[in-house]
Each structure stands twice: as C-alpha cells, then as structure tokens.
C-alpha cells in the first residue's frame, strides 16, 4: 500500500521554506555578447537563459505584419536539464509553453513602433525543477529590457500550488509532481494578469488565495528584476565615466 507523502516538516516545506516563501532568485543581465539583450536567471534549482534579437527583418517574409512587429518566443529544455535525459527538440509541451509565454509578454511590447519586423525571444532551460515557464518569462522580460525593446513595463511571473491541502508559493518539483494543483501567473507591476493557467483542482476560495499569493511572489520578483537592470546600467555608466577619466589622464 502507498504511504502518504509528507510535504511539511515542523510547519516548513521540505526545502525549508515557509508556505508563502519564494525560492532564492539570482539574475544576471547582459550575459551573451551576440544577443541584443540577454539574461541568466535562477529560481531555486531552475536555471534558464534568455536571449533577445531584434527588432529585425522578418524571415520568412510572408510572416510580416504591415502595422506592427511580430513577437516569436521559443522555449527549449536542454536534454540534460531534467533527471532522465529529455528527448531533444520541440514537443507538444514546449509549443504550449512557448505560446503562453509569448502571450504573457506581447501585451507590454510596443510592437507598433516597428512595423514589418520581428522580435525573437529564445529561452533555454539548462536545469529544471518546476516553474521553468515562469523563470523563462522573468528572464525574457529582463532580456527584452536589456535589448532596449520599448515596453510599457516589465512582466513578472511565478506560480502558486496546493500541497497537502495548503496553498503554497512557487512550488518546487516534488510539490509540483505530487501536489494537488499548480497555478502559474504573469503580471505587470500594476497587477494586470497576462498569464493565468491552472493544473489540478482548486475550490474557488483556494484559487483566490493562490492568486493572491502568486501576486505577492510576482511583486517580489519585480523588485529583483528592476534592481538587476538598474545595477547593470549604473555599472556601465560608471565604467564609461571611468574610461573617460582615463582618456583625459593619458591624452
Ligand atoms: P513548469 O516547468 O513551467 O512548471 P511543467 O509543470 O510542465 O512546467 O513541468 C514541471 C516540471 O516537470 C519541469 O520544470 C521539469 O522539472 C519536469 N519536466 C517537464 N517536462 C519534462 C520531461 N520531458 N522530462 C522530464 N522532466 C520534465
């Protein structure tokens, strides 16, 4: 007979978090020299990299839109990103994740500024531990800003889940696999949702609680995204003023 799985120990989750706590986040901006914008992000044991190219000419040409840029998003999981090797190449799940992730970001990109062009977003998952679509969206949002793509605002994304009857923030793989529900969202800093998905079963009150919790998670992620961008660009400004000073000294 199956033993009942345990998700909590002394009120804490198996990775030591409180129910309303995010996993540790790390963001590095501008990590790829050949992309127009890029970002490396860790959310707990998830490791993802996002690269943005554009706005640039659309190929194939028949995809061109006369009045706006199109946005393409490719989410890919590396074969070595999961425990058992993942079969390389696109599959149903990666098409779905790519589609919802693009739709999570497109509403804030000012596509009408760049008619007949394309903004390409690539997200590579190097290590997966549940929540890779949300990590990918967060990294892509920062990479878009790094590429200088005009946007109304950043997008932040995270999930809430239900384990052992309790609503928890940012489920890790064990909680996602064996829990009762998973609700990933993405939103603007103003609280407008651009992604809302749900796996599993929740009562209306539980869904409300999950959305509230996920919203607090997105607010915290937004602060980290914003700080990473500010740090990146203030350090570039500092570097530039140092370079100027050196020029003055040695000229
Ligand atoms: P997300 O990563 O956005 O939470 P899912 O809920 O579909 O998306 O997947 C949850 C987790 O299951 C992934 O983060 C990954 O750890 C694992 N997973 C997904 N697809 C595969 C796969 N093909 N092989 C092994 N593990 C996978």
| pLDDT more than 90, % of the chain | 90
pLDDT at residue 219 above 70? yes
Q: Where are the domains of the chain?
A: 16-250
CA dihedral 123, 129, 133, 134 (to 10 degrees): -110
pLDDT at residue 1 above 50? no
Going by alpha carbons, the residue nearest to atom 12 of ligand 1 is 130
Task: Check residue 64 and give its pLDDT.
Answer: 97
Give the residue, out of 75, 128, 131, 197, with the most ligand 1 atoms within 8 A of its beta carbon, to mutate for a pocket test: 128
pLDDT at residue 177 above 60? yes
Is the CB of 129 inside a 6 Å radius of any atom of ligand 1? yes
pLDDT band at 2 (very low <50, low <70, confident <90, very high): low
R_g over Cα of the chain? 20
* DSSP letters for 170-238: S--HHHHHHSSEEEEEEE-TTS-EEEE--EE---HHHHHHHHHHHHHHHHHHHHHHHHHHHHHHHHHHH
214 and 168 Cβ atoms separated by less than 8 Å: no
Calculate the CA 134 to chain-centre distance: 4
pLDDT band at 236 (very low <50, low <70, confident <90, very high): confident
Indicate the length of the chain as a whole number: 251
Is the CB of 128 inside a 6 Å radius of any atom of ligand 1? yes
User: Residues with Cβ < 8 Å from 214, sequence gap 6 or more?
Assistant: 158, 159, 160, 169, 183, 184, 185
The Å distance, Cα 160 to ligand 1 centre, comes to 15
pLDDT band at 245 (very low <50, low <70, confident <90, very high): low
pLDDT band at 242 (very low <50, low <70, confident <90, very high): low
Q: What are phi and psi of 225, to 5 degrees?
A: -60, -45
The Å distance, Cα 225 to ligand 1 centre, comes to 24
**18 CB-side CA count, 13 A:** 4
pLDDT band at 127 (very low <50, low <70, confident <90, very high): very high
Task: Check residue 250 and give its pLDDT.
Answer: 54
Task: Check residue 237 and give its pLDDT.
Answer: 75
Mean pLDDT of 236-246: 72
Q: What's the predicted TM-score (pTM) here?
A: 0.94
pLDDT band at 44 (very low <50, low <70, confident <90, very high): very high
- Mean predicted lDDT score pLDDT of the chain: 95
What is the CATH code for 16-250? 3.30.230.70
Task: Check residue 190 and give its pLDDT.
Answer: 97
pLDDT tens per residue across span 58-116: 999 999 999 999 999 999 999 999 999 999 999 999 999 999 999 999 999 999 999 99
Nearest Cα residue to 160 out of 126, 128, 206, 191: 206
Task: Check residue 240 and give its pLDDT.
Answer: 76
Going by alpha carbons, the residue nearest to atom 14 of ligand 1 is 130
Is the CB of 108 inside a 6 Å radius of any atom of ligand 1? no
């Amino acid at each position: 007979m199956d033993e009942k799985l345990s998700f909590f120990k002394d009120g804490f989750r198996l990775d030591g978090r409180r129910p309303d706590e995010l996993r540790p986040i790390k963001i590095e901006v501008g990590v790829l020299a050949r992309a127009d914008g890029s970002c490396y992000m860790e959310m707990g044991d998830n490791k993802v990299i996002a690269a943005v190219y554009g706005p640039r000419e659309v190929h194939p040409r028949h995809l061109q839109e006369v009045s706006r840029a199109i946005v393409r998003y490719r989410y890919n999981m590396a074969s070595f990103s999961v425990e058992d090797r993942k079969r390389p190449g696109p599959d149903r799940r990666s098409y779905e994740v790519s589609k919802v992730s693009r739709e999570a970001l497109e509403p804030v990109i000012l596509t009408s500024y760049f008619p007949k062009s394309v903004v390409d977003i690539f997200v590579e998952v190097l290590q997966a531990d549940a929540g890779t679509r949300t990590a990918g969206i967060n990294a892509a949002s920062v990479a878009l800003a790094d590429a200088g793509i005009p946007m109304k605002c950043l997008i932040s994304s995270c999930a809430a889940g239900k384990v052992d009857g309790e609503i928890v923030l940012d489920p890790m793989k064990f909680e996602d696999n064996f829990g009762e529900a998973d609700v990933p969202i993405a939103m603007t800093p103003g609280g407008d949702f651009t992604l809302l998905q749900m796996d599993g079963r929740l009562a209306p009150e539980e869904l409300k609680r999950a959305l509230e919790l996920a919203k607090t998670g997105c607010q915290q992620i937004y602060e980290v995204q914003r700080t990473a961008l500010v740090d990146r660009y203030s350090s570039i400004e500092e570097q530039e003023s140092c370079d100027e000073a050196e020029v003055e000294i040695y000229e």
